[in-house]
Structure 1
Amino acid sequence: MSALPPGDPQLVAMIVNHLKTQGLFDQFRRDCLADVDTKPAYLHLRQRVDNFVSNHLSNHTWSPQLNKNQLRNNIRQLVLQSGMLEQGVDRIVAQVVDPKIHHTFRPQVERIVRQFLSPGSHVEEEEPPLAPSLLVESQEVHPQHGGGPSRLRLLTVPG
Structure 2
Amino acid sequence: MSPDADVTHGRPGKFWAAMRGETPQPPAARTLGLEFVDADPEAGVIELAFTATTDFTNPMGNVLGAFLAAMLYDTLGPALLATLSPDEFQSTLDMNVNFLHPTRPGRLLGRGHVTHRDGDIARLEATLTTPEGTVIATATATARVIPLGVEAV
* TM interval, short-chain normalised: under 0.3
Q: Which has the higher strand share?
A: 2
* Larger-Rg structure: 1
**Normalised TM-score (structure 1):** 0.26
Please give the TM-score of this superposition, normalised by the length of structure 2: 0.27
The structure whose residues are more often helix, as a share, is 1
